[in-house]
Structure 1
Amino acid sequence: MQRLILRFGCDLESSVQWLVYSEPAQEIIASGELANAMELSSLKERADSADVIALVPSSEILLTCVNLPPNANRKVISAIPFMLEEDVCGDINQHFVALGQRIGDEQQVAVVSKEKLKMWQHALSDAGIFCQTIVPDVLALPSKEDAVSLVQFGRQLVARFDLTHGLEGEIDWLLELIKEKTVSEDLAIECFSEIDGLSADSHGSIRFDYTDLPLLLMLKNIDAKTLNLCQGPYSIKRAGNPHWQKWRLAAALGAIALTVNLVSTSIELNQIKSQRAEFALQINNSIAQGFPNIGQFRQARLAVQNEMKRLEQAGGGLSMLAILSQLSDAFANSGVTPQTLRYDATRTELRMQSVANNFESLERFRRDIQALGFEVDQGAINNQGDQVVGVVIVKG
């Protein structure tokens, strides 16, 4: 299974980073960056055969936790938006509250503008990309108990502080804030990409891990527990056809097609019979050409099997099949194709009329055979259109 991960910017004009990863092969298939979200349609072909995950900037989302009473019921949970009303700029009714993990009495929530969420979903659907998972980018970074996780995209810095919190923003101001936080809370900084203005000697405790590309690291860190904004009224389902009339029309058309097919089948049966007779004649001619000494036969498969056994058991040192087996690399490397084969078991001699693209291919074929220890005689060589036909005699 392939997975496609892409990361939006704050608006549709911002660049979009993307990466395709094959889980069975454990390797990156492709990656790149789009100039803006309007170019997402260029990823449709890749998205059709992949599980798509979209990352969105956490600077557009309020990530927080709400303390719930023990055994909180649905009514309490449905009241969460009103608990956060003072923490949200603007009308809470214009925002969507997505629920994440619940750890003890702590409920992880993400508050996002409905307009922003619709914007990202519409950008994907307009490009023909089916995506059921949209994740705040900071939650795709590893959560470290003793460190702040960092990656950088352009001039944007993504930082995760713990299991439920993080920040995303311009590196010019956010990096200084992180330095102060880590010093005051005695935390390390773990960098999963190069961070401008941050080096081993610029901070008290800093670690670097460039094992994976940032997007691949984030893709691997997303699981079923990661907060997904596509929930409730914003959950995405594969498009179906709810209109029974359309299905009835399709069924009627199928019935008509079946009737026409049944009528035409009787006509085609006669054609098939004549074609089978023609194919049988072609098979017999091919067998006679490939095995000139096979004689008369009634069952083609059995006759060929018996002739193959006879050739394998032929005397004179090497059998025809043994010689052909050793010549397989020479055929492949030179591009030479045998047209007819004649084998003299008593002399251990294989005569081939061969076709090649040019004289050089035939000559290379001859040299490769000689390098295997065979004696080679070159017969007449002729041009046939844009190909060269020559006789090659191989002696064991």
Structure 2
Amino acid sequence: MGETLFIRLGSQAENRIHWLIKVNGQEDIIASGELPNAGELTQLTEKSAAREVVVFVPSSDIAIKRLKVPGSSQRAIRLAAPYMLEETLAQDVEQLCFAFSDIKQDEQGHNCFVAALERKQLETWLQWLAEANIFCKLMIPDTLGLPVVPQNSSAVMLGEQVLIRLGEWQVMSFEANAWPVISQYFKALDENEQTIHAYSALSEVPDELTIEYLPEELPLAILANNHARKFNLLQGDFQVKEKRSANTMNWLWVAGVACFALILNFGLKGAKLYQLSNQQDALETEIIEKYKTVFPETKRVRISTVRSQLRQKLAEVGNSEDSAGFLALLVKLEPALASVPEIKPQTLKFDGKRQEVRMQTVAKDYQYFEKLKVAFEKAGLTVNLGAQNNQGDQISGSFSITDTSMKGRS
């Protein structure tokens, strides 16, 4: 099972930060603690390296609203929502960012569930994490981590703030000295007296409120065990893309060449198919779209010239018309190259007549050339290692690689 690091940030850089680590799917806490301010987030950098990170942020900085927005299209509803909230928010709509929940409709007919916060505040939280080299793709208002208690409320005191959840999309966050005002809200809520289920001690609570204290737990653990992953503040411009590993980035060009082969194969077979098929127009459009995906710099593509254009692209990699032979040899090269990442290929040329790949490479030490030669030979390839030349802080060397089994077939 994996582990998750939960972090609860403060509104300001000087606010205390809470954190804990737990095993996914279990309630046991592996470790927990507090940091005095955002500048100390680097203490969590190592802990976040091999774990998923979920960040809670103060709901006191976020307007969590339910709306009844005319319209049947979710797109139209979400476009209209910010302007329906404009009069109730302190900042201009242009200074805010909006994140929407997938909740469709509640019992009262609300059909839009939105969290609005100042764009600058969200950027500040993300900057703190970035400066500590902590990668986070899920950020949640802290009150939405509390459990939903039907017909009643749940509450916890986290730091100096009281967090209350009254329903799936009804929450409160306030300082403890605001209880007198909050108690008036509960009195006017309905005729039936609500019970507040408290998961931690609550200070300064008025006597007229009904509080049921449950077995006390670490406040952040309550949020970690009950949060819903369906909602994320990081939407739109702030949506996080998955990071690619360095090894993946190094070999994207290999995947690109393989993609050329797939497109070429599809084009050759497609050319025959659409001559005999009633779907000619659809197939031509698909071929052109795939070509533009691989070669986005191409502005105009004509179906009649796709084959020649693909051959031209392959000619830039090797000199042979026998592209299938080159690609078959390239498939054998890839695992060996990946096993010695210290060597970086600079040029790659294919001699179709000799069924030979000539590769110019660079590395920082002579030993890596011999290591790669051994890896090629284990793959069943015949290798000639050329001279190595010292070029400043790098060493260049060349390889001539053939596949004897391929020669036999030719």
Same fold judged by TM-score > 0.5? yes
1:152 counterpart letter in structure 2: M
Letter in 2 for 1:8: L
Taking the TM superposition and a 5 Å limit, the aligned residue runs for 1:23-172 are 23=24, 26-69=27-70, 71-104=72-105, 105-172=110-177
Normalized against structure 1, the TM-score is what?
A: 0.60
State how far apart, in whole Å, the 1-side matches of 2:22 and 2:74 are: 40
Q: Corresponding residue for 1:218? A: 223
Deviations 1:282-308 (A, max 9, x none): xxxxxxxxxxxxxxxxxxxxxxxxxxx
Q: Deviation at 1:178? A: 2.9
When residues 135 and 197 of structure 1 are mapped into structure 2, their CA distance, relative to the original with a 3 A threshold, is same
Displacement of 1:77 in angstroms is 2.1
Tell me how far 1:73 sits from its aligned partner: 4.4
- Equivalences for residues 5-16 of structure 1 within 5 A: 5-16=6-17
Q: Distance in 2 between matches of 1:80 and 1:15?
A: 34
Q: Give matches, 1:297-376, under 5 Å.
A: none
- Shift in CA distance, 194/211, structure 1 to aligned 2, threshold 3 Å: closer
* Aligned mates of 1:75, 1:52 — CA distance in 2: 33
**Structure 2 unpaired stretches of 5+:** 254-341, 347-359, 377-410
In structure 2, C-alpha distance between the alignment counterparts of 1:4 and 1:63, rounded to whole Å: 25
TM-score by length of 2: 0.58
CA distance in 2, matches of 1:25, 1:213: 15
Report how far residue 204 of structure 1 moved: 5.0
How is 1:200-219 mapped onto 2 (pairs within 5 angstroms)? 202-203=207-208, 205-210=210-215, 212-219=217-224
Once the two structures are aligned, what percentage of the paired residues are identical?
Answer: 27
What 5-or-longer segments of structure 1 have no aligned partner?
267-396
- SS of the aligned residue for 2:117 comes to strand
Alpha-carbon distance in 2 for matches of 1:74, 1:204: 41
Is the aligned partner of 1:191 residue 2:198?
A: yes
CA-to-aligned-CA distance 1:191-249 (integer Å, 9 cap, x gap): 111011349xx345321123532111111111232x31111110112334899899779
The count of corresponding residues between Structure 1 and Structure 2 is 262
1:252 to 313, 336, 345: 345
Whether the aligned pair in 2 keeps the contact of 1:192 and 1:210 (CA below 8 Å) is yes
Q: Do the aligned partners of 1:148 and 1:182 also contact (CA within 8 Å) in 2?
A: no
Q: Is the 8 A contact 1:182 1:189 kept in 2?
A: no
Q: Distance in 1 between matches of 2:209 and 2:244?
A: 56
Q: How far off its partner does 1:93 sit?
A: 0.3
* Greater alpha carbon shift after TM alignment, 149-158 vs 112-121: 149-158
User: Residue 30 of structure 1: CA displacement?
Assistant: 0.7
2: CA distance, partners of 1:88 / 1:25: 39
